Amino acid sequence: MWVSNVAHQHKLLHVLGRRLRTAVSVSRVGSQVASYHFTATLLNSEDSSLKPAVRRRLRGSNSSSVQHKTAGSGGWPDGERKPLKNEIPPMQKWNQRRGDDSRVSSELRKLSLEDYPAERESLGRQNSRLDSKGEKSEVIFGVAPCLLALTQGRRKSRKLFVKDGQASHRVSVLKVCEEAHRRGVQVQRISKKELDKMSSGGVHQGVCLHASPLTYLTDKSAPNRGDGGAPLWLVLDRIQDPMNLGAILRSAYFLGVDRVVSSLRHSCPLSPVVSKASSGVMEVIGVYGYENLEDVLKAKVAQGWQAVGTVGAEAEGSQIPVIRCSDFKMTKPTLLLMGGEGEGLSPGLLSLCKMLLTIPAGGELFPGIESLNVSVATGILLYSLLSSRKSAR
């Protein structure tokens, strides 16, 4: 029996020795935690065949090779490496990663968001919820629209959102931020993903502005913008594409139209898309809208204004005289009527026109593409009429 027990103990020591050598080899390549868990399991074993000397040897090998705290220990045990100055113990690092915000400064909290995009995105969504007190608001996007919306003061600006990163250091973006700061508008940095959502995929150029919406003006007594010559009003009938409307406003402002008038029925609203398409001109120029545009134009005709419509180059059999735009000389107050995409001028407005202008094509055209986009045609006609007004003077 005694010989059997001695043989059993020698065999067990041989197995344990091989396992310990394996654990030590693992610790030499940096996996000291694995060695600790292995030896701790052996120390907690209930195998009564382990002699006290063997258990002491296991404890000695564990304390000399493992550099982590033992479970339940309040400090670093004797024989282990002491933490370096300003070093955060492993368990404290784990607590911080789990989001122990009460023990982390606000500065460190901001830095930690850089490493946790999901948490940062959630925070951006929370901060982007504005308390508008029931007031309507919309998101303007793009550098020029945001800057002009801030400087013109026609809207109530609530908060400016700027793309975080190097894009926020561009001169154009900094100018928008400075203007917002000057006017007491809060500025918040958020991710590009959040800006994309705000602008519904529009080209925001790194800035979005929450502000009150713009609406059509109705003041009939507002002064004209002209330079003292015969005034020219641009009349838009049922323009529905916001990109077209934005391009038209940009051309009208650049060329010097006295006023832009639009029908409210079946027409595009003054949306952020229009503002972006106009490169911010919508924030500057006043656009007047009327429910009954025909009555307004009848009143102007009664005052001596001439209504001039437009027609494609292929128009035939018209009861109204058709002339080339280059042959028309503007010598009196004029209303230039532009019809909507596809249908053109409504019959009621067309009946007010004394003549129709056309843009001659530069060559033979294929069937189906005999006309121009309404925004392009408007730009050409405005330039032709306003040039004739200057020459007449």
Write the CATH number for 199.
3.30.1330.30
Least confident of 48-52, 174-178, 208-212: 48-52
Mean pLDDT of the chain: 74
Least confident of 72-81, 269-278, 349-358: 72-81
Least confident of 3-12, 45-54, 316-325: 45-54
Q: Based on the fold, state whether residues 282 and 162 are members of the same structural domain.
A: no
Has residue 119 been placed in a domain? no
Q: Based on the fold, state whether residues 205 and 239 are members of the same structural domain.
A: no
Q: Based on the fold, state whether residues 385 and 243 are members of the same structural domain.
A: yes
| Cβ–Cβ under 8 Å, residues 104 and 96 | yes
> Would the pLDDT of 253 be above 70?
yes
Burial label for 391, CB within 10 Å (0-12, 13-18, 19+), is exposed
Q: Based on the fold, state whether residues 169 and 241 are members of the same structural domain.
A: no
State mean pLDDT over 215-233: 73
Q: How far is CA 221 from CA 224, 288, 301, in A?
A: 9, 11, 16
pLDDT of residue 340: 87
Domain stops at, among 182, 211, 240:
211
Whole-angstrom distance, CA of residue 12 vs CA of residue 162: 69
Q: Based on the fold, state whether residues 206 and 290 are members of the same structural domain.
A: no
Strand partners, 160: 187, 209
Strand, helix or coil for residue 295: helix
State mean pLDDT over 243-261: 97
Q: What is the CATH number of the domain that holds 315?
A: 3.40.1280.10
Has residue 30 been placed in a domain? no
In angstroms and rounded to an integer, the radius of gyration of the C-alpha atoms of the chain is 39
> Would the pLDDT of 19 be above 60?
no
Has residue 109 been placed in a domain? no
> Would the pLDDT of 86 be above 50?
no
Q: Based on the fold, state whether residues 323 and 182 are members of the same structural domain.
A: no
Exposure pattern of 158-193 as b/e (b: 16+ CB <10 Å)? bbbbbbbeeebeeeebeebbebbeeeebeeeebbee
Q: Based on the fold, state whether residues 378 and 259 are members of the same structural domain.
A: yes
pLDDT of residue 166: 75
Has residue 1 been placed in a domain? no
Among 292, 252, 295, 257, smallest CA distance to 274 is for: 252
Has residue 2 been placed in a domain? no
Has residue 4 been placed in a domain? no
> Would the pLDDT of 45 be above 60?
no
* pLDDT per residue as tens digits for the range 46-74: 444 444 554 454 444 444 444 444 334 44
Instruction: Quickly count: other Cβ atoms within 10 Å of residue 283's Cβ.
Output: 24
pLDDT of residue 251: 97
Q: Based on the fold, state whether residues 388 and 273 are members of the same structural domain.
A: yes
pLDDT of residue 72: 40
pLDDT of residue 85: 45
Q: Based on the fold, state whether residues 243 and 301 are members of the same structural domain.
A: yes
Has residue 86 been placed in a domain? no
Least confident of 169-178, 191-200, 361-370: 361-370
Least confident of 7-21, 132-146, 246-260: 7-21
Has residue 88 been placed in a domain? no
Q: Based on the fold, state whether residues 260 and 345 are members of the same structural domain.
A: yes
pLDDT of residue 219: 72
Residue 199 pLDDT grade (very low, low, confident, very high; cuts 50, 70, 90): very high
Strand partners, 357: 310, 323
pLDDT of residue 326: 92
Long-range CB pairs of 108-111 (<8 Å, 24+ gap) are none
Structural domain boundaries, residue 167: 135-211
Q: Based on the fold, state whether residues 186 and 324 are members of the same structural domain.
A: no
pLDDT of residue 9: 57
Q: Based on the fold, state whether residues 305 and 239 are members of the same structural domain.
A: yes
Question: How many folded domains does the chain comprise?
Answer: 2
